[in-house]
Amino acid sequence: MEAQKNLLLDIHDLKVHFDIAAKSAWPWTKPTKLKAVDGVGIRLYEGETLGVVGESGCGKSTFARAVIGLVEATDGNVVWLGQDLTKLDQVAMREKRKEIQMIFQDPLASLNPRMTVGEIIAEPLKAFYPNMSADDVKQQVKAMMAKVGLLPNVINRYPHEFSGGQCQRIGIARALILKPKLIICDEPVSALDVSIQAQVVNLLKSLQKEMGLSLIFIAHDLSVVKHISDRVLVMYLGNAVEMGEGEALFAEPKHPYTKALMSAVPIPDPDLERNKEIELLEGELPSPMNPPSGCVFRTRCPQATDECAKKKPQLEGGDIHAVACLNVH
C-alpha cells in the first residue's frame, strides 16, 4: 500500500462466536459454540476497496456486521482511526456510525415500506442532526438523489414503486447522506440482474472517486470483485485463507480454495471457457459448530497432509500477497 495512504481500519484477530442451545433433555447441557468468524485480521486504507469473497456460510456478512457493531465481537479489536470500536458503549458507537455506513443485500427489504424515498434518505440526517431545518434536509436529499441517479420528482414515492436497481440506489443514497468515510457493501448486487449489477458497481466506483470513500465489498461473484477491488480477502469457514492485491491474487492464486473459486469464474471467450480446467472441491462444507482441527480447509483440500490436522496456518507473505497454508511457500 502506498505510503501516503492513511490507515482507516485495523482489525486484529476478530472473532464472532454464537452460543447454540444443545438439543438435549438435560437443562445443564452446555451450549455449542458456532464459530462464524474465527480470527480474521485486515487493514483498510483511505480510498481503498477491499473485496471479501467466499462461499455461503463462510462468515463474510457476520464479519461485516461485527465491523460496524451490528453483532458483538467475541474477541479481537476493530481499530477505527486509532480508536477501538469494540471498547465503545452504545452512545459512542452511535456517533461513529456517521463515519461508517452499510448497504444491504436485499434492496427492497432494507427500506421501510411506509416511508417515502425522501423520508428514507433524510432519516439519518434527522437522527444525527435534529436541529437541521426542513429546507436544508430537503436540499441535501435532492442533491444526494441526483448523485445516485434518481430524479427529484420521485421523492414522494414509496419503495414498492421502484425496481430492484432503483431501490439499491435509494439505499446507497441513504448510506451516503451523512458523508461517511467507509461504506460496507454486503452483497449489494447479488439480488440484481447482470446489467443492473454493472450499473450499481460503476456508480459505487464513481461515488468512491468523487467522495473519497473506502469500501468493503462483499460478493459471491469474483468477476464483480475483480472489477471493483484493490485488494481481496478470501474467507473459508470463518477464517482468512488468502489476501492480497487484486491483480496478484487473480493472476496467481496460491491457496487451493482460492484456486477452486477462480476456476469457476466464467471466461468470456467460448473456446477458452470450453477447454479450461475446473478444480472441483470434494465433500461438504464442514459445520462451523464443529470445524476441523488445524487447517479448516483440510477435509476438502487435495494437498492436505497429516501436519494440516495438527497446526492452524496463519496468513503469511506480507501485504501484497499473503496465504494461510502449510503447503504453500
- Residue 25 banded pLDDT, cuts 50, 70, 90: low
Structural domain includes residue 320: yes
Q: Which amino acid is at 188?
A: P
217 and 53 in contact (C-beta within 8 Å)? no
Average pLDDT rounded to a whole number, residues 206-232:
92
Structural domain includes residue 40: yes
In tens, the pLDDT along 309-328 reads 999 999 988 778 999 999 88
**Does residue 24 carry a pLDDT above 80?**
no
Average pLDDT rounded to a whole number, residues 111-121:
95
**Does residue 247 carry a pLDDT above 90?**
no
Q: What is the pLDDT of residue 153?
A: 93
Residue in 104, 100, 209 with CA at minimum distance from that of residue 164: 104
Counting the structural domains of the chain, the total is: 1
285 and 55 in contact (C-beta within 8 Å)? yes
In tens, the pLDDT along 31-57 reads 888 999 999 999 999 999 999 999 888
Q: What is the pLDDT of residue 328?
A: 81
- Residue 4 banded pLDDT, cuts 50, 70, 90: low
In tens, the pLDDT along 70-91 reads 999 999 999 999 999 999 998 9
- Residue 129 banded pLDDT, cuts 50, 70, 90: very high
30-44, 71-85, 142-156, 187-201: range with lowest mean pLDDT: 187-201
71-85, 154-168, 252-266: range with lowest mean pLDDT: 252-266
Q: What is the pLDDT of residue 1?
A: 45
Structural domain includes residue 145: no
Name the average pLDDT for the chain: 89
295 CB-side CA count, 13 A:
27
187 and 180 in contact (C-beta within 8 Å)? no
Q: What is the pLDDT of residue 101?
A: 95
Q: Output the furthest CA–CA distance in the chain (Å, rounded).
A: 68
**Does residue 3 carry a pLDDT above 60?**
no
Give the domain range for residue 64: 1-21+33-99+218-324
Structural domain includes residue 316: yes
Q: How far apart are CA 56 and CA 128, in angstroms?
A: 35
- Residue 2 banded pLDDT, cuts 50, 70, 90: very low
Q: What is the pLDDT of residue 318?
A: 78
210 and 144 in contact (C-beta within 8 Å)? no
Domain holding 265: CATH number? 3.40.50.300
Residue in 180, 175, 8, 38 with CA at minimum distance from that of residue 100: 180
Backbone φ/ψ region at 68: left (φ over 0), alpha (ψ -120 to 50), beta: alpha
Q: What is the pLDDT of residue 329?
A: 65
- Between 9 and 269, the higher pLDDT residue: 9
Contacts of 121 (CB under 8 A, 6+ apart): 141, 144, 145, 170, 173, 174, 177
